[in-house]
Amino acid sequence: MTGELFLSHSIGKLTLMKGYIEDCVLRLDEDRVWRGPHNSIGNLVLHLCGNVRQWIGWSIGGLPDVRRREREFAPESRVGTEELLALLNSTVAEAIAILRGLPVERLTERVATQDGDRFVLEVIYQVVGHFQQHAGQIIFATKFYEKSS
């Protein structure tokens, strides 16, 4: 029961935070989404997608590790709003599918991550916490840009 609750809660948090991020991106014009030399909202979304795909997709789901972290923050990584949101939605949908199909017995299995072996439960906890942290930054930046208009 605890394992199922943990997975369900994790899926719910990822879904909720994705919705908040999507709402923020849609409330801003494209220039504000990409404003800043480094941690723009757009770059943070790319960073979240890279993190989720690597930690859940690769570490738990066995998908190829195609992450290029440095590109997540590169100015030339800018894409249109529609493409950015499509990437966010497909990334979170893929992660949720992996988590929905995850047997609870695997929560105590050790898997390889970019930071060494971790329990699957730790990997999920890291991803959800990281996602919430950057969602908060995106929400804050969006409110700032709306007030400065």
What is this structure's pTM? 0.95
CA dist 91 and 50 (Å) reads 9
Domain architecture of the chain: domains with CATH? 2-147 (1.20.120.450)
Q: Where would I find the H helices in 28-119? A: 30-33, 41-52, 69-72, 81-100
Q: What's the pLDDT tens digit per position in 103-125?
A: 999 999 999 999 999 999 999 99
Which pLDDT tens digit goes with each residue over 20-44? 999 999 999 999 999 976 789 999 9
